[in-house]
A and B are shown apart, each in its own frame.
Chain A
Amino acid sequence: MFGSLASLQPRQLAAQVLNFALVLSTAFMLWKGLSVFADSSSPIVVVLSGSMEPAFQRGDLLFLWNRGQETQVGEVVVYNVRGKDIPIVHRVIQRFGGGSTPLQLLTKGDNNAADDTELYARGQSYLDRSQDVIGSVVGYVPFVGYVTILLSEYPWLKTAMLVFMALTVVLQRE
């Protein structure tokens, strides 16, 4: 299998490695481009829990848009709890401020009994729209995100996938 690589001139080998590097960097730059377009640090998220059923199921892929600062009651937003890196997808049930004062939001999962006050950081009663919210949900694709859940629950899958991709691209000459 690697025999075909051994017979390559150094420049040709560099060209094959470049092909793989370009696959990775193009994927990354597309992601960053989408981030810039949506003005969100994570424009596509996967639903991890069932707290928004029946609207969203675990494994759904959500598309976010962060350029609408006047979030209304009833919109579904994704936010990070201060100090933690876990995105939470819940619905806005109350809003305070807006206009000249900073907008504050209270959220609750459709499938939860209580609002999110328990989930926020200690001493925090409301979300700050500009600081805590990553974006509001503008579209979704069901089930597709399950791959991401699998990859995070079985980290060796990530390595295996990457190695497989690398071999396929570097050994293939088109």
Chain B
Amino acid sequence: MAEAKISPHSLNDLKNTTDDALANYLRGLQFRQDNTKLDVRLAIGYASVVIAAVTFTADYKLGWEATKGWTAVAVVAYALLNGAFTYWTWGVEKGCVFDGVKEGRKISVASKTNKHEPTYYLTVTDSGSAASARQIQAPFTTWFTADGYFVAKPFQQWLASSVEAIGAADVKNASRAETEEATAPGPEEIETVAQSTGSAQASGTESKSKSSKRSKRKG
């Protein structure tokens, strides 16, 4: 993954980079991504854009008087489609980052952040274990350096150890995090990974100065 630098002060950038990394990671683990939600959103959106484009062309070619009636119809249709679009984005997609399937296990991940709070909240729905959604969270500092570089390892370890389906697919990351976690509480409904990543960094791939910077922040 390209190590592009982002601003560690922009919650938007942090969330988007993490969302992209999560999707890439899961695709790398051979989860087949289900794009239905995004496809429906694109379909509704582009349908309304097409209606607007046709209305524009008709008005440009034929003038106002001739197209008045059809324009009225088009405006109503556009309003309805936009309403459906908004409903789909807010009500159905609701922060969905990844929907996928692997060997029959369905996984659905939605992410969220709160204003002025550098924490990444995930809601994971797993078809295998408990049917209800699990909420997990971790501060962004777990996988971002102080100057804004994303580090994949701690992120993958957090995911693999917190989510059963991912842990089953990526045993290496799941077990490594668990052995280092000897003193930390076991996986619960809400779990932060601050302690475990401090020790996991000793064998991390980044430079020493970066990891010492991170353990300083661990206080």
Contact = CB atoms under 8 A, between A and B. Distances in A.
B11 to A, nearest CB: 11
A22 B49 contact: yes
Given A14-B42, A173-B16, A29 B78 contact: yes
A41 B108 CA distance: 49
A83 interface: no
B41 A7 contact: no
A95 interface: no
The residue in A15, A32, A36 that gathers the most chain B C-beta atoms within 10 A of its C-beta is: A32
Contact of A36 (B39, B52, B75): B75
Given A3-B4, A7-B4, A11-B35, A18 B46 contact: yes
A25 B20 contact: no
Contact of B42 (A15, A39, A174): A15
Contact of A11 (B42, B51, B78): B42
Contacts of B23: 9
A33 B75 contact: yes
A24 B64 CA distance: 20
Interface in A1-52: 3-4, 7, 9, 11, 14-15, 18, 21-22, 24-26, 28-29, 32-33, 35-36, 39, 41
Nearest to B63: A41
B68 interface: yes
Interface in B58-81: 59, 63-65, 68, 71-72, 74-75, 78-79
A36 B45 contact: no
B46 A29 contact: no
Contacts of A14: 42
B55 A18 contact: no
A35 B71 contact: yes
Interface range on chain A (Cβ under 8 Å from partner): 20 to 34
Contact of B49 (A3, A4, A11, A18): A18
Interface of B: 2, 4, 12, 16, 20, 23, 35, 38-39, 41-42, 45-46, 48-49, 51-53, 55-56, 59, 63-65, 68, 71-72, 74-75, 78-79, 82, 85
30 contacts: A3-B4, A7-B4, A7-B20, A11-B38, A11-B39, A11-B42, A14-B42, A21-B49, A22-B45, A22-B48, A22-B85, A25-B48, A25-B49, A25-B51, A25-B52, A25-B78, A26-B82, A28-B52, A29-B52, A29-B74, A29-B75, A32-B75, A33-B75, A33-B79, A35-B64, A35-B71, A36-B72, A41-B64, A41-B65, A174-B12
User: Which 8 interchain pairs have the tightest Cβ spacing?
Assistant: A25-B52, A41-B64, A33-B75, A18-B45, A21-B49, A36-B72, A29-B78, A25-B49
Given A22-B85, A25-B53, A33-B75, 20 more contacts: A3-B4, A7-B2, A11-B42, A14-B42, A18-B42, A18-B45, A18-B49, A21-B45, A22-B45, A24-B52, A25-B48, A26-B52, A28-B55, A28-B56, A29-B55, A35-B64, A35-B71, A36-B68, A36-B72, A174-B12
